[in-house]
C-alpha cells in the first residue's frame, strides 16, 4: 500500500506542481555538469504508406538534469522498494502529447461499425526516471481527455487541408468525452556486448513493465539490440508509449555518436479505450480485439555535440481480427541536451 501511494504521489506531483528544483551536489572539477533535455517526437503512418489506425502522434517533453528534482519527489522515490537511489540518478520530466486514431476508410460519413472508431487523446505526462549506467526505471502518469475535447477532428481536418488530402468524414462518430488516466511503469536493463573493430560498441537491453488505467491496461516485455558509437549517451531515442523507448534522457559523452538499433516488444492487453470504447458511456467499439499485440522496430540515431536526431520504423501486428493488415508507421525525434 505504501509503495502504491508513493508511485501515485511520485508521478502525480509532476503534473500538479511547478518545476522548481533542488540544488545539485557540488561537482568535481573533471566531472561534466548534469544536463537536462528537451525533445520533440512525431509519429505518423505516412512512413508506412497508410492513413488509418494510429495515424499521428506528437510529443514535446522536458527532462530535468540529474538530481534536480522536487524535494517531495526525492522523498517519494525513496519510499518505492525497488528504486535504489544510492546507485541511480533521479530525473523528472513533463510532457504534452496528442494522438489520433481513425478507421481504415476515412471517406465514409457513416464509418464501418466493425472498424476502429475515430478518437483523439490529448494529455500531459509527469515522469520520474531513475537510472545508472545499466538500469533505467521509469514511472509515468498520463492525465488528459479522450473525445471531441481532445481536438482530434480539428487537427486531422486542418492537416489534410494543408497537404491537400481528402478530408476525413466520420468524426461525428468518434469516442465520447472522457477523462483519461494511465499509470505506466517500466524497467530496462542494458548489457554490454562484444567490442568490434573501428571502436564500435554493442549492447542489448531487456525491459518489462505495464500500464494501468481507463485508457490502457497492459503488461509488456521486450528486447532491443544496438551497435554504434557512444551508446552510453542514452537508453534509446524518445518515443510515444506504448513503445520500445528510452525515457527522453540524453547525455552525450562524445562529440559525435551514432548507432543502429532493432527490437521487439510483446504486450498482453486487458483494456484499450481506442478499441474497447468509452468506459463510462455508450460509444463505438470493437468486439474482436486481439489480446496479444507485438511491435517490431528498427532505426538509427545520430548526435553531433548536444543535438540528437533519430528515426524509428515500426511494424505493429493486428490489434483486432478484422483489421486490414498490420500497422506500419515511423517516428522522428530531435533531442537537445542543455
- All residues at 6 or more sequence positions from 142 whose CB lies less than 8 Å from its CB, including other chains: 97, 123, 124, 125, 180, 181, 182, 183, 184, 213, 215
At residue 338, the 3 state secondary structure works out as coil
The whole-number pLDDT of residue 33 equals: 61
> Is residue 6's pLDDT more than 80?
no
Q: Does any domain span residue 26?
A: no
d(Cα 110, Cα 35) in Å, to the nearest integer? 50
Mean pLDDT to the nearest integer, 257-270: 98
> Does 21 fall in a domain?
no
- Cβ–Cβ < 8 Å for 250, 232: no
The whole-number pLDDT of residue 82 equals 66
pLDDT above 90 coverage of the chain, percent: 73
Q: For 161-197, what is each residue's pLDDT tens digit?
A: 988 888 999 999 999 999 999 999 999 999 999 999 9
In a domain, 309, yes or no: yes
CA dist., res. 253 & res. 273, Å (int): 41
Grid coordinates representing 293? 499485440
Averaged pLDDT, 327-337 = 97
Phi, psi for 322 (deg, rounded to 5): -95, 15
Structure confidence at residue 319 (pLDDT) = 98
By mean pLDDT, which of 5-9, 67-71, 179-183 is the weakest? 5-9
The reply to whether 158 falls in a domain is yes
Give one word for 242, left, alpha or beta, with left for phi > 0 and alpha for psi -120 to 50.
Answer: beta
Could you tell me whether strands 307-316 and 37-44 are parallel, antiparallel, or unpaired per DSSP bridges?
unpaired
Count the neighbouring beta carbons within 10 Å of the beta carbon of residue 181: 15
Tell me what pLDDT residue 46 has. 87
Instruction: Tell me how far apart the alpha carbons of residues 63 and 338 are, in angstroms, rounded to a whole number.
Output: 10
Sign of CA dihedral 156, 157, 161, 165: positive
- Flag whether 31 is in a domain: no
Above 60 in pLDDT, residue 136?
yes
Q: Which three cell numbers stand for residue 237?
A: 531515442
Residue 242: asked if its preceding bond is cis (omega within 30°), the reply is yes
Q: What is the pLDDT of residues 275-299, one digit of tens each?
A: 999 998 999 999 999 999 999 999 9
- 28 within some domain: no
Neighbours of 283 (CB within 10 A): 19
CB 318, CB 295: distance < 8 Å: no
Question: pLDDT-derived band of residue 48, with 50, 70 and 90 as boundaries?
Answer: confident
Q: How far apart are CA 314 and CA 53, in angstroms?
A: 13
Question: Per the domain annotation, does 117 fall within a domain?
Answer: yes
Which region, left, alpha or beta, applies to residue 51 given φ > 0 means left and ψ of -120 to 50 means alpha?
A: beta
**186 SS3 class:** strand
pLDDT at residue 16, as a whole number: 41
pLDDT at 79: 72
Task: Give me the DSSP letters along 236-290.
Answer: S---PSSSS---S-----SSEEEEEEEEEEEEEEEEEHHHH--SSS-----SSB-
- CATH number of the domain to which 181 belongs: 2.40.128.140
- Residue 83 pLDDT class (50, 70, 90 cuts): low
d(CA 85, CA 73): 12
238: nearest Cα among 12, 99, 59, 94: 59
- Report pLDDT for 8: 44
Residue-number span of the structural domain to which 129 is assigned = 2-14+36-337
Domain count for the chain, please give it: 1
In-domain check, residue 69: yes
Residues sharing a CB contact under 8 Å with residue 268, sequence separation 6 or more, in sequence order: 218, 219, 220, 291, 292
C-alpha span between 67 and 62 (Å, rounded): 14
Q: Are strands 178-192 and 201-213 parallel, antiparallel or unpaired?
A: antiparallel
Amino acid at each position: 500500500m505504501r509503495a502504491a501511494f508513493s508511485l501515485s504521489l511520485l508521478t502525480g506531483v509532476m503534473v500538479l506542481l511547478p518545476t522548481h528544483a533542488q540544488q545539485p551536489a557540488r561537482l568535481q572539477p573533471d566531472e561534466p555538469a548534469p544536463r537536462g533535455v528537451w525533445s520533440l517526437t512525431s509519429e505518423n503512418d505516412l512512413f508506412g504508406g497508410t492513413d488509418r489506425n494510429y495515424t499521428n502522434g506528437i510529443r514535446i517533453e522536458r527532462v530535468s538534469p540529474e538530481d534536480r528534482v522536487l524535494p517531495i519527489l526525492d522523498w517519494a522515490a525513496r519510499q518505492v522498494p525497488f528504486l535504489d537511489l544510492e546507485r541511480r540518478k533521479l530525473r523528472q520530466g513533463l510532457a504534452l502529447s496528442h494522438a489520433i486514431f481513425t478507421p481504415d476508410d476515412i471517406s465514409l460519413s457513416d464509418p464501418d461499425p466493425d472498424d476502429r472508431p475515430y478518437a483523439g487523446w490529448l494529455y500531459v505526462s509527469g515522469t520520474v526516471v531513475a537510472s545508472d549506467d545499466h538500469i533505467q526505471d521509469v514511472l509515468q502518469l498520463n492525465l488528459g481527455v479522450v473525445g471531441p475535447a481532445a481536438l482530434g477532428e480539428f487537427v486531422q481536418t486542418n492537416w489534410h487541408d494543408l497537404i491537400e488530402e481528402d478530408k476525413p468524414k466520420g468524426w461525428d462518430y468518434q469516442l465520447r468525452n472522457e477523462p483519461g488516466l494511465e499509470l505506466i511503469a517500466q524497467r530496462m536493463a542494458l548489457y554490454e556486448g562484444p567490442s568490434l573493430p573501428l571502436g564500435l560498441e554493442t549492447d542489448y537491453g531487456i525491459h518489462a513493465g505495464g500500464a494501468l488505467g481507463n485508457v490502457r491496461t497492459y503488461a509488456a516485455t521486450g528486447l532491443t539490440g544496438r551497435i554504434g558509437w557512444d551508446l552510453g549517451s542514452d537508453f534509446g531515442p524518445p518515443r510515444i508509449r506504448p513503445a520500445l523507448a528510452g525515457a527522453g534522457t540524453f547525455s552525450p559523452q562524445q562529440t559525435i555518436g551514432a548507432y543502429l538499433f532493432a527490437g521487439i516488444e510483446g504486450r498482453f492487453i486487458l483494456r484499450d479505450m481506442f478499441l474497447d470504447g468509452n468506459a463510462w458511456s455508450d460509444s463505438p467499439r470493437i468486439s474482436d480485439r486481439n489480446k496479444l499485440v507485438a511491435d517490431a522496430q528498427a532505426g538509427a540515431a545520430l548526435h553531433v555535440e548536444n543535438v540528437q536526431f533519430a528515426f524509428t520504423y515500426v511494424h505493429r501486428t493486428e490489434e483486432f481480427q478484422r483489421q486490414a493488415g498490420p500497422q506500419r508507421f515511423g517516428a522522428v525525434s530531435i533531442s537537445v541536451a542543455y
